[in-house]
Amino acid sequence: MRLRRGARAAPTGLHSTDYHAPVLITGESERSAMAGEPQDDCLFCKIVAGHIPATIVRETETTVAFRDINPQAPTHVLVIPRVHYRNAAELAAAEPAVAADILREAQAVADEDELESYRIVFNTGTGAGQTVWHAHAHILGGRGLEWPPG
């Protein structure tokens, strides 16, 4: 099933924790063998495949952008690659053009939401707050954002 641009709400009764359950990969060889391929146990791969609903705001050949189900700002959109990499660093090393596409789409999201200023966040690793092990950027805007964050 191919995702299409348009609003799709999360099913009733689901909570943000349902969508942000960590997916653990145990070994280095397992990690490298799966890089770039869809993962059956990955939430974002399921969104890309259309198996889990999301409020899609933009799509390209390489990316999908959708509203966060637990927004931290008036605009809180996630931009994800269609290919599976555990984090932004792995994506950038393996497919730098797709990493650049994510940044391009972040700007497009900001333009569509008429944001004068916004923040792009890539959480990489548990200590940084990454809870879904699929590279993604958070686009936050529409309110003042303090520095340092968190």
Cis peptide, bond prior to residue 96, ω within 30 of zero: no
State the catalytic residue, choosing from 15, 51, 134, 136.
Answer: 136
Give the integer Cα–Cα distance in Å for 64 and 93: 20
User: Token match 């993604």: residue?
Assistant: 136
Known catalytic residue at 136: yes
User: What is d(CA 13, CA 33) in angstroms, rounded to the nearest whole number?
Assistant: 35
Q: Provide the 3-class DSSP secondary structure of residue 138.
A: strand
Give the SS3 label for residue 140.
strand
Place of tokens 């605009």: 75
Active site residue ranges: 136
